[in-house]
């Protein structure tokens, strides 16, 4: 679900005057007014949050080198370690 930023068009309380973020589904209606003071709102255009660099694309070999542990599901509630430190098998009891 995307995060949208809203700000009061005129006046408003401390929350909507400075702007606030709202997590909502794509098909949710936009709020027309601030829930605290009733001031009319407008949606702001903001820069999206992006993953920059290759840290999110690490290979299994490099995951362990960076201090992370990766597990792969091998059954219902059972996971096998593929990279990094930690127990070889995780399973729910």
Token pair listed for 42: 């407008």
Q: Where are the domains of the chain?
A: 3-44, 55-91
Phi first, then psi: give them for residue 43, nearest 5 degrees.
-80, 135
Q: What is the pLDDT of residues 66-82, one digit of tens each?
A: 888 888 899 888 999 98
The C-alpha atoms of residue 70 and residue 81 are separated, in whole angstroms, by: 6
- What beta strand segments (E) does 10-91 contain? 20-23, 41-44, 70-75, 78-83, 89-91
**pLDDT tens, position by position, 8-62:** 998 889 889 999 999 888 899 989 999 899 999 999 987 777 766 666 667 777 8
Please name the helix (run of DSSP H) or strand (run of DSSP E) that holds residue 5, with its range, or none.
strand 3-8
């Amino acid at each position: 679900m995307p995060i949208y930023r809203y700000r009061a068009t005129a006046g408003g309380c401390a929350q909507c005057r400075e702007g606030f973020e709202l997590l909502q589904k794509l098909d949710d209606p936009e709020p027309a007014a601030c829930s605290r003071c009733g001031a009319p709102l407008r949606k702001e255009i903001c820069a999206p949050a992006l993953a920059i660099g290759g840290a999110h694309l690490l290979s299994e070999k490099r995951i362990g080198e960076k201090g992370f542990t990766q597990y792969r599901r091998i059954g219902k509630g059972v996971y096998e370690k593929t990279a990094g430190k930690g127990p070889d098998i995780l399973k729910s009891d």
